[in-house]
Structure 1
């Protein structure tokens, strides 16, 4: 059986995994045929199709796939009699994409607020975005069509939290990343002279402004450091996985590390940070004016106090800015064990800095 052309039946916003799923279930295309057309391995298509199938427990995802499947069965493939007409994009598709983009900026921005969630009943044509305040009072902040909410769920921008007569959805990490891309693209469209930016790069940035000791406002990217990302995660009881004092200890080591890179041979010889040589011995008499030499000594003293293993994970995560998965691969550890070792190392590092007191000679 010949597969129906996906470009004629599927909207442009439909994710690739959902396209494969509909082509397999509705058009009868085999997994090998889909893989051959896409130029990938059949196991890749199989994993994506299975993932979409398991997501049909989500009411909005199930309704969206059912609606798209019914439209696909009734669609009549257009004859591509002329190459120019085959490349012409329907005006309705452009309007749908514009509407989804506009609604995504409005709804995802609201759902990204603290305490916000989307609620939708079984037979309601509209979904409401509600926000729970500190006093427990719930306020409605936005309303969106059910069809648009189905698109959000199918694109994995929102995920089902509780099911029942009223189903509750929350924004996902993919939804937050998409919101950053959409807002960055909207800012780039504004008139005036602005710096060229990449929307896909902006999704990995988390800008924040703080005031230094000199009353200077500093704008920095919180998502640049893996330590800051772990500091925002919470355990099951709601407490932060890394307390602020542990994050501060890691950033303190990173500050010294950045200053020490101005010294000679630091960029070529990393062994001196881990071997504990006499050249890197800490001398309490040195102060902030020692510059790269004093910073290098403070880093060497901290890593020597941590020892092998703990010093390695702190150096890679806090100074080299490597992610946890990359650290676990380098160290040969099992998955999801690196963050536990990192927390132990930061506790030891905090104790090291507490023991130094004012003699640490920090510059900031």
Structure 2
């Protein structure tokens, strides 16, 4: 199979762009015929035709339309006058939007979209999108913030889909392809945590072009993290002896608030997976390249962890921030079975007290 660069040498597309999108742009923007594209990759012309028609039908999706326009502008600047280049540079995808960055962001976003009643909301006038989830009380809880270019890439890969038509705020849901991508990314991280080599034997063609971030050194234990659903949601659905939820909405909100600060604190600094590692690196990792917002978030997380202490701080870090399962947390910390949920509830209660004393209520969500 020949590469698309032999089909459209004037186009310098990012490697993460799906092949079907490359065919669509080569046909609609470069004017190459369906038969020429089919001969280049040794397939039937009807295959290319279906790809072109599918993407043309998806142009009503604002994320898809914006992504295709950006790719068309970005890949034509090499053959246009310098003045036109300068004007279209503002429409280009950020050069930092690599497959590795998309994979890393997708693990965080797709996990949140797998939660019950979770959607990705995109407004036309907003630069960022948000993942929101409705709880049993009908309240909307924001669980993640998404850069618009990441959302466009995920829509282009068909990991998310928007069934809405023409509304100001579009709602996107995770697709089967998105769930499969999340499983592949999660399995790759778990395999590396177990010590398996990433490149052994014949490489799966479905994973061609994927790049997974490496684990950081100095881990206290090799944890199986990146669960599809937060442990807090599972405990919130459980009932106590008197019929009330084991975790109230306030406890869940406090845990989500800590997680958002933790994710922001990871920007520009080393990835840490334990209480000790986070507390040791938070003061020394601040450099000129670290955003000011990330430094403030680290300070907030550090204050909360210091207030909770080693035991309580470790369990909220693992369960709320790293989405580590309770059974895995109990095993890694050497606790008895079924004791983790009790300690986690106590830690969340203490976390609420900390937020109310320092920032008011649970401290408003960032963004």
Pick the TM interval, shorter chain. 0.3 to 0.5
Output the TM-score relative to the length of structure 2. Answer: 0.47
TM-score by length of 1: 0.47
- Report which structure shows greater RCO (CA 8 Å, sep ≥6): 2
**Larger Cα-atom Rg:** 1
